[in-house]
A and B are shown apart, each in its own frame.
Chain A
Amino acid sequence: MSEVTVDPKAAKLRRDYPYTARLLCCRADPTGHYVVAGATDSTVQRWDVLTGERVPLVGHENWVRSVAFSPDGRLLYSGGYDGRMLCWDMLSGAVSPLRTVTAHRGWLRCLAVSTDGAWVASCGNDRLVKIWSAADGSLVREFSGHVDLPYSLQFVPGAGELVSGDIRGNVLHWRVADGEVLRSFDAGGMFSHVGDIAPFGGAIGLSFSPDRGRVTVSGLHRVSNAPAGNRRGVAMSFDWVTGEKLPLQECRQKELDATMWRAVYHPGGLMIGVLEKEIGFWHPGAEDVFHLLTTPDHIFDCDLHPSGTDLFTAHFDGHLRCWQLQG
């Protein structure tokens, strides 16, 4: 991704990609040609970024919760509440899956692809983290260190390592080669519960800063009434070298009942996080947003276009929206 200058205060809607079912996740193709989203009608929707042409990818049998591209953009992986991971050939444009893997017992919640494209990681309601061969879909390794539901995954850039976060805010740093837990990060402040029965919150999203200096956990905190949705979106970062917990990043200028479903880093260092209908922008390390961009509907995921000039957001109203971050 080239380092482009962005001006969030001048950001505006570049394009609206409408669909009819609620969207749960989205990713931009590393080549910049496509953007895809997972929907609650069990489909993956693929749009041509330039023409807006939409093609449904049908194969899942439940909500599609996670999508991830291979680094070269040739393969797309999708994971759903049917517990399956489907692999799609983006070059051929085929609308049927290249490969289907029954990955987890219960929901599959997150997918991530290693930076060299060799591995695909998945996690699910069976509390397992699994490493799959990207080449043939075979199971490489299975990690069972999470005591509660794992929610999020991210490969450590340039290393054979992985971080995974769970609903209780435990983030584990794994060495993929042998499954050893190298260390853990405590984001328990982002965990709440209902009546000692249902956990709430946790490490919902994971991302690395461009310099790999910090790993950022996005989610929620300050829960006053979980079943009513009273909570605040937040990002909790840790110094990647020392493990030190860094100051929380949230929206302090406006009270928002929100979960920060994902935070992404722009190559220039800005952190961009979604907060319900708002897109928040933070200067590197800043505790409060310097700008909020209001969108038409609730956002459940976001991703940067590889050019760095645009941000895609996946919305509850079924629309995928593209936000031009430059004036």
Chain B
Amino acid sequence: MSGFRYQPCGTIDHGIARRQFMGEFLTGGAVMAGTSLFSHPVGAGELVSRGRSMVVVYLNGGISQFESWDPKRDVETGGPFREISTTVPGVQISELLPRTAQQMHHMALIRSISTDLDDHGLANNLVRSGRTTRSATEYPELGAVVARGLERADFPLPGHITTMVGGAGGRANNAAYLGPSYASVGVGAEQGGIVNAQLPDGMTVAVDSRRHDWRRFVNSRHRSRVQSAEMDAYAQSYEQALRLMEKRDLFDISRESVAVQEAYGKSEFGRQLLLARRLVEQEVPFIEVQHAGWDFHHNNFEFHLHYVADFDGPFACFLGDLAERGLLERTLVIVMTEFGRTPGINAGYGRDHYPKAWSMAAAGCGIQHGAVIGATDAKGVEVTERKVDHRHLFHTWLRAVGIDSGGQFEIGGRKFPIADPAFGPIEELLS
């Protein structure tokens, strides 16, 4: 997979900054200077909710709210798709989501998101970090915060995993001051498990073990003279890589029954969601599943016809599967995107970027099932009720999995508010 993702409109996705580090296999090459992650206890504000997971399904590029969570009928902004009823009386979504509509009793909708950035990269950072960054300060993304907030010392897997095609364990750079241990690790739902996780031909377990014994010995000797968080992170990355290798079967979705695999479907998205379910079973704190390419400036309706269908079946299956296995009670699932699409339909029958009034959906633990937060006007142009933005959402997601979003991280003697302290969660959305 390329580390670069260009949006159709020509801007470069935020993924560049995050993924330019991925060529390095857990080597901690992106260690931030100045933190002392392993030298301090967990910050006082962090509340650990063991066993909880958060799954973000990220629809990269900006899904249209009209063609998904907030359809509008018989107005010139509405488009050709109609609304359908769901399992929640009175709540309707686009007809493109018939299977998700059958899972609405596990879900909630937020229809009143209003932000002010319409650039992919900047808006992506906005929703992921829960901050409006206009200074040099970098903030950790939601996944890093959750990985830290739900951290367990003995946990054998990375706490922050992004499923992606061909993912081979590379680290991104999205943990900011929390340090690389909380940055996302990219893995793929490949046949046979995570790629490059087996010993090379000719290398025996015994020899490999002796290599690592030697590395640990040298590290230990060096550490007796010099200590730093960077070195700790570096060494920890090796140990985590070894644990990933031991757990490689976990990433092999062919170990699921044929029936389960067929239920999730053969699409890349379905396979990634099935892997996500396996990771939820292992209590991985944060998993992101990406579904890219939603930037339909042209031919919006034809493309949504196919793209939403590609999303709908596997996603509904995923929610149903989590619910049946009792996992949804401890898992928050968020369908995230960076902004909505314009009410106005352009001359190519496309919709452009629109951060002024848009939607997200969520499901699972910590939220009111069946809730619909806020509303837009008849044409979907303005938020008319309960305007919220990325900062409210960031607080809400953390609170839903039991992390005190009003708390602070203490890093290197400095205190960092977990979420923007000027804002709070959407209380009425929380259960």
CB < 8 Å neighbour of B299 from A22, A40, A227, A298: A227
CB < 8 Å neighbour of A316 from B61, B306, B310, B347: B347
Contacts A22-B345, A227-B296, A229-B299 known; 12 new A-B pairs at CB < 8 A: A40-B80, A41-B76, A81-B80, A194-B293, A194-B307, A197-B293, A226-B303, A227-B293, A227-B299, A228-B298, A229-B298, A229-B350
CB < 8 Å neighbour of A227 from B267, B298, B347: B298
A and B contact pairs by CB, cutoff 8 A, 6 listed? A40-B76, A196-B268, A197-B293, A198-B305, A227-B61, A229-B298
Q: A45 vs B27: C-alpha distance in the bound complex, in angstroms?
A: 66
Q: Does B231 contact A (CB under 8 A)?
A: no
Is A228 touching B297 in the complex (CB atoms < 8 A)? yes
Residue of B nearest to A200 (CB): B299
The 3 closest A-B pairs by CB, nearest first: A229-B298, A198-B306, A227-B8
Contact status of A197 and B76, CB under 8 A, knowing A227-B298, A228-B297:
no
Contact status of A195 and B292, CB under 8 A, knowing A226-B298, A226-B299, A227-B303:
yes
Q: Does B288 contact A (CB under 8 A)?
A: no
CB < 8 Å neighbour of A198 from B80, B82, B303, B347: B303
CB < 8 Å neighbour of B10 from A107, A199, A228, A229: A228
Chain B interface (Cβ < 8 Å from any Cβ of A): 8-10, 61, 76, 80, 82, 267-268, 292-293, 295-299, 302-303, 305-307, 310, 345, 347-348, 350
Contact status of A62 and B10, CB under 8 A, knowing A21-B76, A194-B303, A228-B297:
no
Q: A40 vs B79: C-alpha distance in the bound complex, in angstroms?
A: 8
Task: Identify which of B295, B296, B297, B347 gathers the most chain A CB atoms within 10 Å of its CB.
Answer: B347
Q: Does A225 contact B (CB under 8 A)?
A: yes
CB distance from A75 to the nearest CB of B (A): 25
Q: A62 vs B301: C-alpha distance in the bound complex, in angstroms?
A: 13
Residue of A nearest to B6 (CB): A225
Contact status of A200 and B302, CB under 8 A, knowing A107-B80, A227-B296, A229-B350:
yes
Question: Digit string of A190-229 for contact with B (CB within 8 Å is 1, else 0)?
Answer: 0000111111100000000000000000000000011111
Is A225 touching B8 in the complex (CB atoms < 8 A)? yes
Question: Digit string of A102-128 for contact with B (CB within 8 Å is 1, else 0)?
Answer: 000001000000000000000001000
**Looking at chain A's contact residues, is the secondary structure mostly helix, strand, loop, or mixed?**
loop
CB distance from B2 to the nearest CB of A (A): 13
Please name all residues of chain A whose beta carbon is closer than 8 Å to the beta carbon of B8 when the two chains form the complex.
Answer: 225-228
**Within residues 73 to 93 of chain A, which ones have a CB less than 8 A from any CB in chain B?**
81
**Looking at chain B's contact residues, is the secondary structure mostly helix, strand, loop, or mixed?**
loop
Q: A12 vs B66: C-alpha distance in the bound complex, in angstroms?
A: 39
Is B293 touching A229 in the complex (CB atoms < 8 A)? no
CB distance from B380 to the nearest CB of A (A): 16
Is A63 touching B80 in the complex (CB atoms < 8 A)? yes
Residue of A nearest to B298 (CB): A229
Q: A40 vs B78: C-alpha distance in the bound complex, in angstroms?
A: 10
Chain A interface (Cβ < 8 Å from any Cβ of B): 21-22, 40-41, 62-63, 81, 107, 125, 194-200, 225-229, 276, 297-298, 316
Q: A297 vs B346: C-alpha distance in the bound complex, in angstroms?
A: 12
Q: A291 vs B112: C-alpha distance in the bound complex, in angstroms?
A: 50
User: How many interface contacts (CB-CB < 8 Å) are there between A and B?
Assistant: 63
Please name all residues of chain A whose beta carbon is closer than 8 Å to the beta carbon of B298 when the two chains form the complex.
Answer: 226-229
Q: A93 vs B307: C-alpha distance in the bound complex, in angstroms?
A: 42
Residue of B nearest to A41 (CB): B76
Q: A226 vs B350: C-alpha distance in the bound complex, in angstroms?
A: 11
Task: Identify which of A22, A194, A197 gathers the most chain B CB atoms within 10 Å of its CB.
Answer: A197
Q: A198 vs B292: C-alpha distance in the bound complex, in angstroms?
A: 12
Q: A197 vs B9: C-alpha distance in the bound complex, in angstroms?
A: 19
Q: A197 vs B347: C-alpha distance in the bound complex, in angstroms?
A: 23
Contact status of A199 and B306, CB under 8 A, knowing A227-B295, A227-B297, A228-B10:
yes
Please name all residues of chain B whose beta carbon is closer than 8 Å to the beta carbon of A226 when the two chains form the complex.
Answer: 8, 298-299, 303
Please name all residues of chain B whose beta carbon is closer than 8 Å to the beta carbon of A199 when the two chains form the complex.
Answer: 306
Residue of B nearest to A195 (CB): B293
Please name all residues of chain B whose beta carbon is closer than 8 Å to the beta carbon of A63 when the two chains form the complex.
Answer: 80
Q: A40 vs B76: C-alpha distance in the bound complex, in angstroms?
A: 8
Q: A199 vs B297: C-alpha distance in the bound complex, in angstroms?
A: 16
Is B350 touching A198 in the complex (CB atoms < 8 A)? no
Q: A298 vs B298: C-alpha distance in the bound complex, in angstroms?
A: 13
Task: Identify which of B9, B310, B348, B350 gathers the most chain A CB atoms within 10 Å of its CB.
Answer: B348
CB < 8 Å neighbour of B306 from A41, A197, A298: A197
Please name all residues of chain B whose beta carbon is closer than 8 Å to the beta carbon of A41 when the two chains form the complex.
Answer: 76
Please name all residues of chain B whose beta carbon is closer than 8 Å to the beta carbon of A196 when the two chains form the complex.
Answer: 268
CB distance from B295 to the nearest CB of A (A): 5
Please name all residues of chain B whose beta carbon is closer than 8 Å to the beta carbon of A316 when the two chains form the complex.
Answer: 347
Task: Identify which of A63, A107, A195 gathers the most chain B CB atoms within 10 Å of its CB.
Answer: A195
Q: A40 vs B305: C-alpha distance in the bound complex, in angstroms?
A: 17
Residue of A nearest to B292 (CB): A195
Q: A194 vs B296: C-alpha distance in the bound complex, in angstroms?
A: 10
Please name all residues of chain B whose beta carbon is closer than 8 Å to the beta carbon of A195 when the two chains form the complex.
Answer: 292-293
Task: Identify which of A62, A197, A199, A227 gathers the most chain B CB atoms within 10 Å of its CB.
Answer: A227
Q: A22 vs B346: C-alpha distance in the bound complex, in angstroms?
A: 11
CB < 8 Å neighbour of B307 from A40, A197, A229: A197
Please name all residues of chain B whose beta carbon is closer than 8 Å to the beta carbon of A298 when the two chains form the complex.
Answer: 347-348
Task: Identify which of A62, A63, A229 gathers the most chain B CB atoms within 10 Å of its CB.
Answer: A229
CB distance from B22 to the nearest CB of A (A): 20
CB distance from A237 to the nearest CB of B (A): 24
CB distance from A260 to the nearest CB of B (A): 14
Q: A200 vs B307: C-alpha distance in the bound complex, in angstroms?
A: 12
Is B76 touching A198 in the complex (CB atoms < 8 A)? no
Q: A196 vs B307: C-alpha distance in the bound complex, in angstroms?
A: 10
Please name all residues of chain B whose beta carbon is closer than 8 Å to the beta carbon of A107 when the two chains form the complex.
Answer: 80
CB distance from B120 to the nearest CB of A (A): 12
Q: A40 vs B344: C-alpha distance in the bound complex, in angstroms?
A: 13
Please name all residues of chain A whose beta carbon is closer than 8 Å to the beta carbon of B267 when the two chains form the complex.
Answer: 197
Residue of B nearest to A65 (CB): B80
Residue of B nearest to A193 (CB): B306
